[in-house]
Amino acid sequence: MVAPIDKLVDACRQMSSLASVRGFLLWDQEAMMPAKGVEGRARSMAALARIVHQQQSDPAYGDLLETCAAASDLSPENAAIVRELKYDRERSVKVPEALVVELSETSTRSEHAWAEAKAANAPEDFLPWLGKMVALRRREAEYLGFADSPYDSLLEDYESGLRAAPLRTLFADLRRELVPLLGEILEKRPPEEDAMSGLRFPVAGQLEFVKKVAGDMGLDMAAARIDPIKAHGIMVALHPQDIRITMLFKEDHLPTGLLGTMHEAGHGLYEQGLPVRYWGTPLAEAASVAIHESQSRLYENQIGRSRAFWEHYYPILVSFFPEQLGTVKQEAFLASLNRVRPSLIRTEADEVTYNLHIILRFEIETALFNGGMKVGDIESAWNAGMKDLLGLVPAKPSEGFLQDIHWSAGQMGYFPAYSLGNLRAAQFLGAARRDLPEMEMDIGRGNLLPLKAWLNDKVHRHGRRYSGEEIMARATGEKTSPQPFLAYLRAKYL
């Protein structure tokens, strides 16, 4: 006779397989789908969302979960699986099927409308879709329930227990430290001339180089692929052995594709580091989006912008682009990669100003969902916030509130995960340095695998067995804190 826990795992894996199909359609939508495919794709995505919701809401599945939860002989791993599946189901059954389908179908169309509006600098074409997404997510929040703010229910999607009130305090503390720190850095280290300004780097060469770097990071390239696209880079994990990365490469701005691919490869390393034997269950899923972002931000910034990394990789980069970089000294290149200056585009922001971009988005999102702002007010609020935080005003919407894909996909509440990722990356790297005293020398020799092994052990292999904060405590002995990150910035830039 099949044990109830085995039946539960089998049911869970069926739902995960459907989620993988949906992930494949998302990857194809970003990488290969023709423009006219959006209507058919919206219906396909909605159909899959409906089936998964029906399976998760099935009373028989709920009964099976309760039977497993009542068992007295569950292993710690199976107990964690049951606990997390109950959490997922409790949230799922609160939301009507019709709303789940409408959210999925509308988000696909909204993303397409965003891409066209951004390319044409036509916010009026996107605002109606953004209004729909905000309204749908607000309805979802009402069904899910919240104590203080509907925005809390959105944050829950990205880290269990994350709430707006403590985030507001955290961001206020960050802003209070970062603004004067930025001024101090600019006073002591005015931005030098960009050594890469005016140079053009063919995409084919960039792609070949970043594939080498991703492989050296430990990403199994036989189980992953990287494709150039014209919009926003993403990582989609269909399975630990099937990782899809799309990346925007700019011929006139090398760091976009270079650091962006290291970012997405960091996500891919997390997915490949999850235990394959538990695939299809929460033990083979990331602890949270905020922990996921800590992995990508660590590789993008604290490795990808580091002196040790470029000691090994700059000569290799020059061999890919001898005409462009043959006369550019390594020190000048490194200085360009680490220029600190206010900028308009979040994904191209330096480490010091990046979190100010996130604070702006957090303030707008909370205002939208607390009823203090209408969708039509976003552009003016954005421009005023950029002026206040960074002293800049976008000349066109594609450099302003149209620059990110997240709102078009309904991913309100996602942006704070990037800042939490920055803070946690500094803490993880500090702990790794303590445990791996030769890590810097290894990186300087192009040996990135000891760091990967440390992250596999301390972060990746646990899946959702522990919460984000529990993983932080186990790996670093600390709670999430801005102080190690701020200390890292001061040490590096001052």
Q: What is the dihedral of CA 439, 443, 448, 452, to 10 degrees?
A: 30
Residue 264 is a catalytic residue: yes
Tokens of 34: 């023709």
* Given 105, 111, 159, 264, the catalytic residue: 264
What is the greatest pairwise CA distance in the chain?
73
- CA 160 to chain centroid, in Å, comes to 16
234-239, strands of its sheet edge to edge: 224-229, 242-248, 234-239
Answer yes or no: are the C-beta atoms of 446 and 312 closer than 8 Å.
Answer: yes
Helix residue ranges, H only, 4-122: 4-31, 38-57, 59-70, 76-92, 97-120
Query: Which position has the token pair 């691919």?
Result: 261
Q: What is the dihedral of CA 117, 119, 122, 127, to 10 degrees?
A: 30
Phi, psi of 404 (to 5 degrees): -105, 150
Cα separation of 480 and 468, whole Å? 9
Q: Among residues 147, 154, 244, 159, which one has the least CA distance to residue 419?
A: 159
Q: Among residues 200, 292, 177, 291, which one has the least CA distance to residue 237?
A: 292
Q: Which residues are catalytic?
A: 264
